[in-house]
């Protein structure tokens, strides 16, 4: 198998549970980590329950690891204080441990909320300045900048996968644009892990949907080829063709995140 030890953080989460089954062929041992319970380790799995904000624990977690799929953290808007611990401090601990342990590449589960304040009439590529729509989005921008720094300074490679909406199917009209099927998520991760050279790259994680807000031409070296399209769900959203909509929750790329209250602390 290509890797001896591959680490997946966020293994107890929605995407982590899907990936746990799908990434087994990529490594002799998949190290699964989360702050939450992950059940019993199967064949070829090791389970390490820890808080990413705990630097010593993350250092230990990283021993012998060759590559990381970093999906752990708070995945929607929250207070700044909570986001700071899990996503900002947690991601900094992860990068420092990865550097110290000689990890070659990290795939960072970034988010469309790094650019969530662009409007549904904007079509952007990876060179567009970030426009986060939430503390959550700001924390993902921090993660991306940290990845850029570790690449330039010590040659640790990262693909920042700016995931749109990765769920079994779109649940609203906005997700007809932002949807990333689970199969295409796995394809994006596979290409990102095994492309010859990625340096610091940004890849938008979306399926081959009829309407797109994001242009992946700057990431052609990764070779990501989505196979699914949200068009298979057209019947659920018969007015999708009328994009852009006049509904506030789809005014911005980030949808409702851009409209949420600012909550600094609990």
Among 41, 47, 74, 128, binds ligand NAI (CB under 6 A): 74
The question of whether 136 is a catalytic residue gets the answer yes
Among 20, 105, 113, 191, binds ligand 15L (CB under 6 A): 113
Q: Residues with Cβ < 8 Å from 84, sequence gap 6 or more? A: 139
Judge whether 163 and 205 are in contact, CB under 8 Å: yes
Kindly determine how many residues on this chain lie close enough to bind ligand 15L according to the rule CB under 6 A.
Answer: 8
Catalytic residue among 118, 136, 224, 252: 136
243 binds, among ligand NAI, ligand 15L, none (CB under 5 to 8 A by kind): none
Closest approach, Cβ 244 to ligand 15L, in A, equals: 17
Residue 32 DSSP SS3: strand
Sole residue written with tokens 């057209």: 234
Among 9, 78, 111, 240, binds ligand 15L (CB under 6 A): 111
Tell me the C-alpha to C-alpha distance, in Å, between residue 165 and each of 30, 110, 176.
Answer: 25, 11, 9
The answer to the question of residue 49 lying near ligand 15L (CB under 6 A) is no
Residue span binding ligand 15L (CB under 6 A) among the ranges 18-26, 110-118, 204-212, 219-227: 110-118
Judge whether 213 and 131 are in contact, CB under 8 Å: no
Query: 46 or 242, CB closer to ligand NAI?
Result: 46
Closest approach, Cβ 27 to ligand NAI, in A, equals: 19
Query: 71 or 213, CB closer to ligand NAI?
Result: 71
Q: What sections of the chain are H helices per DSSP? A: 14-22, 55-61, 80-83, 90-100, 135-154, 175-178, 182-194
Burial of 262 (0-12, 13-18, 19+ CB in 10 A): exposed
Sole residue written with tokens 């550097």: 99
The answer to the question of residue 10 lying near ligand NAI (CB under 6 A) is yes
Site string for ligand NAI, 100-119 (x = CB under 6 A): ---------x-x--------
Among 165, 209, 230, 240, binds ligand NAI (CB under 6 A): 165
CA distance 179 to 169: 7
Cα-Cα-Cα-Cα dihedral sign, residues 219, 224, 227, 230: negative
Binding site for ligand 15L (CB under 6 A): 75-76, 111-113, 165, 178, 255
């Amino acid at each position: 198998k290509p890797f001896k030890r591959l680490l997946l953080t966020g293994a107890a989460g929605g995407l982590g549970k899907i990936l746990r089954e799908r990434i087994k062929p990529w490594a002799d041992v998949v190290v699964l980590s989360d702050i939450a319970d992950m059940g019993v380790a199967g064949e070829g799995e090791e389970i390490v329950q820890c808080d990413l904000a705990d630097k010593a624990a993350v250092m230990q977690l990283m021993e012998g690891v060759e590559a990381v799929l970093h999906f752990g953290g708070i995945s929607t808007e929250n207070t700044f204080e909570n986001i700071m611990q899990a996503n900002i401090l947690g991601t900094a601990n992860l990068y420092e441990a990865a550097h110290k342990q000689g990890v070659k590449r990290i795939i960072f589960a970034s988010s469309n909320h790094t650019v969530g304040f662009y409007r549904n009439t904007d079509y952007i590529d990876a060179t567009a300045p970030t426009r986060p729509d939430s503390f959550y989005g700001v924390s993902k921008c921090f993660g991306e900048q940290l990845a850029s720094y570790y690449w330039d300074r010590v040659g640790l490679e990262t693909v920042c996968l700016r995931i749109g909406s990765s769920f079994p199917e779109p649940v609203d009209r906005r997700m007809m644009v932002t949807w990333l099927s689970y199969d295409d998520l796995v394809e994006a991760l596979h290409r990102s892990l095994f492309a010859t050279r990625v340096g610091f790259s940004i890849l938008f994680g979306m399926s081959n949907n009829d309407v797109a807000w994001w242009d992946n031409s700057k990431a052609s070296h990764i070779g990501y080829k989505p196979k699914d399209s949200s068009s298979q769900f057209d019947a659920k959203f018969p007015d999708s063709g009328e994009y852009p909509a006049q509904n506030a929750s789809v005014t911005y790329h980030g949808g409702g995140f851009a409209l949420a209250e600012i909550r600094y602390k609990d």
